[in-house]
Amino acid sequence: MKVLEGTVLASGATIGILGGGQLGRMLAMAAAQLGFRCHVYCPEDKSVAAQVCDGFTQGRWDDRDALAQFANVCDVITYEFENVPVEPLAVIPQGMLAPGTRALEVAQDRVREKRFVEDVGGHPAPFLSVDHDNELAHAVDRIGRPGILKTRRDGYDGKGQWSIALAEDAQGIRIPASGCVFERMVRFECEFSVILVRGRDGEIRFWESTRNRHAGGVLSHCELPAPAIVSEQLEAARTLARKVAEALDYIGVLTCEFFATADGPVFNEMAPRVHNSGHWTIEGAVTSQFENHIRAIAGLPLGDTACVAPKMVMDNLIGDDALDLARHLSDPAAHVHLYGKVEARAGRKMGHITRIG
Q: Is 155 annotated as a binding residue?
A: yes
Distant-in-sequence, close-in-space partners of 168: CB < 8 Å, separation ≥ 6: none
Q: Is 150 annotated as a binding residue?
A: yes
Q: Is 270 annotated as a binding residue?
A: no
Check residue 110 and report its DSSP letter. H
Q: Is 303 annotated as a binding residue?
A: no
For residues 47 and 66, give the distance between their C-alpha atoms in angstroms, rounded to a whole number: 17
Q: Is 205 annotated as a binding residue?
A: no
For residues 152 and 113, give the distance between their C-alpha atoms in angstroms, rounded to a whole number: 10
Q: Is 319 annotated as a binding residue?
A: no
Q: Is 184 annotated as a binding residue?
A: yes
Q: Is 185 annotated as a binding residue?
A: yes
Q: Is 186 annotated as a binding residue?
A: yes
Distant-in-sequence, close-in-space partners of 312: CB < 8 Å, separation ≥ 6: 223, 224, 280, 283, 284, 354, 355, 356, 357
Count Cβ atoms within 10 A of the Cβ of residue 189 and give its class: 0-12 exposed, 13-18 middle, 19 or more buried: middle
Q: Is 52 annotated as a binding residue?
A: no
Q: Is 183 annotated as a binding residue?
A: yes
Q: Is 79 annotated as a binding residue?
A: no
* β pairing state of 14-18 and 76-79: parallel
Q: Is 135 annotated as a binding residue?
A: no
Q: Is 72 annotated as a binding residue?
A: no
* β pairing state of 147-151 and 14-18: unpaired
Q: Is 20 annotated as a binding residue?
A: no
Q: How many CB atoms lie within 10 A of CB 327?
A: 10
For residues 314 and 297, give the distance between their C-alpha atoms in angstroms, rounded to a whole number: 26
List, edge to edge, every strand of the sheet that includes 180-184: 127-130, 180-184, 147-151, 161-164
Q: Residues annotated as binding site? A: 110, 150, 155-161, 183-186, 191, 214, 268-269
Q: Residues annotated as binding site for ATP? A: 110, 150, 155-161, 183-186, 191, 214, 268-269
